[in-house]
Amino acid sequence: MPIKRRVLADFESVIGKAAVLSEPNDLTMYEYDGGVDKSRPDVVVFPRTTEDVVALVVLAREHKLPIVGRGAGTGLSGGAIARSGGMIVSFARMNRIIEIDISNERAIVQPGVVNLDITLAVQPFGYFYAPDPSSQRACTIGGNVAENAGGPHTLAYGVTTNHVVSLEAVMPDGAVIQAGGKGPDMPGYDLVGLLTGSEGTMALVTKIGVRLLRAPEAVKTMLAVYNSTEQAGDTVGALTARGITPVALEMLDGPMLRMVEAATHAGYPLDAAAVLLIEVEGLTEATEELAHEIGDVCRVCGARDVRVAQSSAERDLLWKGRKNAFGAIGRVSPTYYVQDGVVPRTQIASTLRAIDRIGKNYGIAISNVFHAGDGNMHPILPFDPRKPGDLKRAQMAGEEILKFCISVGGSITGEHGVGMEKMELMPHLFPEATLEMIQRFKSLFDPGCSLNPGKVLPTGKGCLEIRQRPDLEL
């Protein structure tokens, strides 16, 4: 049912008619993210300031509209989807880098700033922003904070929460809170850590303080080539056993690397069963020595070849292949389902075998590209939406993969979030008491369940679907 004209007029009076979308054709563009679920909002608004967000939240509360924050919509778990309709707050126009403080190695940004733009802004000073999701050319810092995003270089640098030092956020009642600061150890409870990764269910983040890191003196990027995925998986464990921590350790299996090579011509060998993309950095002499040691470990574990990029152009090309992997899949299948399970590094080889077995059981040709260094698996399950039941089959296979990850001591997500995709698997990961505690935190911050309802917690915990849109004034 279209939203009422008087409700729209209220929103338009706050931020202007050009910053409010309500036509069906416009709303269609906001009914999905990078995952497979869809749900159309009733209205989409584009604030430019924290004050705009406050006014919009107050109006949404008055009209009993659910509120969903949205960045670039590149998420893969349905986190930015208005599952219960209501108002999507798009932060696309809150995209200013407010402050760069090189002396304190900090920056203050609005949530709509694109991830890569921070690094581009501070590169002239010899600094960079570490978390680098594969979608870093498009994804925004606000979305990264919501999902606690990772990326290839999180093996050494950590995920988003390790680089966020402060937050400004708007609460469901319109109150504005400040958490953290430029100091290394702020007093009180760690609200920054609590809100980072909360998937927009507790507050709408409107300013973000991030840590900047000095660019390394030297970087070495290596490609280890294998005739079996098990050898590649064993190498990860062997590097860990030797106490070696590269800044990045990525794996692509044969089917995936062939798709990538066809799309990007990155120099990946078409006849390989798997490759490891490995990067080390630091002082020049130490980096040379570490690269040599890693090469030795790769060969002992069965690598038939270990290549070292000889130029920045060659390095960039290897990374172009990895970061464009998801796009390359479109050459084989226009639609696919991506999973995000995590396993201990010692279980990578057994998990790859389980993924292969599950794929065969469901008749799905699964390919793999993932953060091998921290055991963050990304099996790719192609499906045809035109075939009845094909998506459901992929989802069932994906669920089985995640349950296997849990069984070997892992988790259902490493960087993509729970969203609406994995919420029913939460009881397989956490005991009842833990879920109850998560629910209590949600209720403390958002007692009316107006922020991103129907996410994270399983049905029966908190925002039940049957009461997610009470008495909406549409």
pLDDT for 1: 62
Kind and range of the H or E element at 315? helix 312-323
| pLDDT, tens digit (0-9, with 9 covering 90-100), for 150-187 | 999 999 999 999 999 999 999 999 999 999 998 878 89
Reference 90, options 62, 115, 67; nearest CA is 67
pLDDT for 186: 86
Q: Which residues of the chain have pLDDT under 70?
A: 1, 462-474
| pLDDT, tens digit (0-9, with 9 covering 90-100), for 415-437 | 999 999 999 999 999 999 999 99
CA distance linking residue 446 with residue 453, whole number of Å:
10
Q: Give CATH 3.30.70.2740 domain extents, the chain.
A: 333-415
For residue 466, the one-letter residue type is: I
CA distance linking residue 259 with residue 287, whole number of Å:
31
Residue 234 CB-half CA count within 13 A: 13
CA distance linking residue 134 with residue 222, whole number of Å:
18
pLDDT for 465: 44
Which tokens belong to 178? 């400040």
CA distance linking residue 190 with residue 180, whole number of Å:
8
Read out DSSP for 210-237? EE-EEPPSEEEEEEEEESSHHHHHHHHH
* Cα-based distances in Å from 313 to 49, 117, 130, 291, 391: 40, 20, 20, 19, 39
pLDDT for 463: 62
Kind and range of the H or E element at 241? helix 229-241
CA distance linking residue 290 with residue 334, whole number of Å:
40
Q: Give CATH 3.30.70.2190 domain extents, the chain.
A: 218-327
For residue 368, the one-letter residue type is: N
| pLDDT, tens digit (0-9, with 9 covering 90-100), for 222-252 | 999 999 999 999 999 999 899 999 999 999 9
Q: Give CATH 3.30.465.10 domain extents, the chain.
A: 97-214
Can you name the CATH fold of 97-214? 3.30.465
Q: What is the CATH number of domain 333-415?
A: 3.30.70.2740
Q: What predicted TM-score, i.e. pTM, was given to this entire model?
A: 0.94
Q: Are 372 and 249 in contact (CB under 8 A)?
A: yes
299-331: b (≥16 Cβ within 10 Å) or e:
eebebeebbbbeeeebbebbbebbbbbbebbee
Reference 170, options 51, 316, 268, 284; nearest CA is 51
pLDDT for 470: 42
Which tokens belong to 86? 């209501």
**H-type helices in 43-185, by residue range?**
50-62, 115-122, 141-147, 154-157
Can you name the CATH fold of 218-327? Alpha-Beta Plaits (3.30.70)
Reference 46, options 12, 96, 83, 80; nearest CA is 12
Which tokens belong to 319? 């990374």
